[in-house]
Structure 1
């Protein structure tokens, strides 16, 4: 579906996933997403141009990366969703990721209509993260999405607090989907090729990694919170420090770039990362480990 050699997708992470990272992941053999996040349409277009240049593509060529949107950002009264979505679609991106919104079905309809009106030879591939069997079936049967991202509660950044662990979630979704349903990608705290291989054996089509790619050179819908590093801000809250004092120290930490105070999103598996490598090196390392573990798994069945 994506034309990639290694079944790894780099998650769109607001504030971290730009055109450089997305292009490096794709160049390495995986599939990179950049995050629309809180960007303007002009800023998004600039990042897409950067990715296109790094991949040595002409303006009219399909762009083999994706753009991830926080759907609730598209739904704000002050938003211009058509401009934000068109910034990606006009740049011929291969995929769109839609997460955490109340009208995701409408944005999918917008993308499908755009593809039809512009007679795109290959329709835009639509990714939607889900955290329950019920969500997966709605996205598959009603919304007709192309890829389901099963997001377990180990995921860094934002996610649904009601989500089960990833192993349980992927198993349940795969059991519930009808034959011929969309491929399922595993997401949540994954850091190594052997972990990815285990989900391929389970039946997933690939995996989405976020935090692993950080180690390289408001208003939310109901039920969504987040997972980040435990630092001095959280420690102060746990110790009963006055909330205004905590806020004051937090704001100072954000100004000063102090990771001991500011918010640092992270998946549960962050402790498995011990080296800083380029995104392309990470993709190759993961691919090698996946192949090695799958070889071991095949020998066990003899």
Structure 2
């Protein structure tokens, strides 16, 4: 594999600027490890089912990476609002990730993310970890990006657009607008050191997408939905078949998805994008949600794909088969290289 050199590949020591999103219920130890082994960088996400389950994912990662001890070349992602719950059991999950020596921590959707950034940095200081754990913070606006850079001195900014699968700001701009806005705002600041690399996130599922954002000035791309059809993805067979059958227009945003599964503690303005399902349409049209929830639960027991909440972004349309994660990384990388070469070939002397 040829190497695409950007600020993120140099920071992480990887060959291609492809970063696996930490997707709950999808990005486990196997998927994160295979993405990293293929030259990208993988994040795993706790499914919030307890410390023992999360510890198992680290055992899986260590086995695949052949790292029985010591630091791991993967990251772990956490939801700020889950960490911030009173007497939150999820703080132990963050501490477990740090004990395992992950290379990076990804934080999103919290009212006090600075608190958890301090926790990570204090852990590094007390343990003497070198190099220190990298901090990724997900942002949906220019203002959030500037706070993360100026106040928290984060290592990487993840610019998440409205196209993203899973959760995000319902008022986020398209990622094609958000990334240039953030880059412009960072470049306009008085000189105070180099700004952090910016990664584009939201609906990106092809090498063309990656090359386009590299051309815009992003350091790389966060890819989520494309890896939902990786063989190592934790999605169920029902969910994977639904992803393969979906069209680009199948991925819709709604607050109802979380109402159906009783996960409504997200910060104000945050909703989710998943594959459209009759239950969501029914609730939005005024149906009794308690009755709809019963119907969804019964359908899920039968294995009915229309009763399964399947998070996915707008890049879902072209996905038509299962693949090993390493093949997905290679295809994205090779296609991006081809597009970048073609773009440079178009340039000539006047």
What is residue 305 of structure 2 aligned with on the other side?
A: 259
Does the 8 Å contact 1:9/1:31 carry over to 2? yes
Question: How do residues 42-121 of structure 1 correspond to structure 2 at under 5 angstroms?
Answer: 42-60=52-70, 62-121=71-130
Partner Cα separation in structure 1 for residue 97 and residue 227 of structure 2: 22
Bigger drift between 271-280 and 181-190 goes to: 271-280
Gaps of 5+ in 2: 1-10, 232-262
1:200 is matched with which residue?
A: 214
SS of the residue aligned with 2:317? helix
Which of 12, 23, 29 is 1:13 aligned to? 23
Report the more deviating stretch, 118-127 or 147-156: 118-127
> Superposition pairs for residues 124-143 of structure 1, below 5 Å?
124-143=133-152
Q: State the aligned residue count.
A: 301
| 1:134-283 matched pairs, under 5 angstroms | 134-178=143-187, 180-217=194-231, 218=263, 219-237=265-283, 240-283=286-329
1:95-146 CA-to-partner distances (Å, cap 9, x unmatched) read 1011111111000001011111111110101111100000000001101111
**What CA distance in whole angstroms lies between the structure 2 residues aligned with 1:136 and 1:216?**
31
CA contact (8 A) 1:127 1:148 kept: yes
Out of 154-163 and 209-218, give the one that drifted further. 209-218
How far did residue 242 of structure 1 move? 3.9
Change (3 A) 1:37 1:148: farther
Contact 2:45 2:77 in 1 (8 A): yes
Matched, 1:291 2:337: yes
List per-residue Cα deviations over 1:63-107 (Å, max 9, x = no partner).
Answer: 000011111111111413542222011111101011111111000
TM-score, with structure 1 as normaliser: 0.96
Instruction: Provide the C-alpha distance between the structure 2 equivalents of 1:59 and 1:30, rounded to a whole number of angstroms.
Output: 21
Residue pair 1:156, 1:210 contacting (<8 A) in 2 also: yes
Asked whether the equivalents of residues 48 and 90 of structure 2 are also in contact (C-alpha less than 8 Å), the reply is: no
The answer on whether the counterparts of 2:30 and 2:61 sit within 8 Å (CA) in structure 1 is: yes
Structure 2 CA distance for aligned equivalents of residues 52 and 225 of structure 1: 34
Q: Tell me if the contact between 1:37 and 1:69 (Cα under 8 Å) persists in the aligned partners.
A: no
Quote how far apart the aligned CAs of 1:262 are.
2.0
Q: Deviations over 1:20-60 (max 9, x none)?
A: 11111111111111102413222222211210110111312
Cα distance per residue 1:169-211 (max 9 Å; x no partner): 0010000013610000000011101111000000000000111
SS of 2:307's equivalent in the other structure is coil
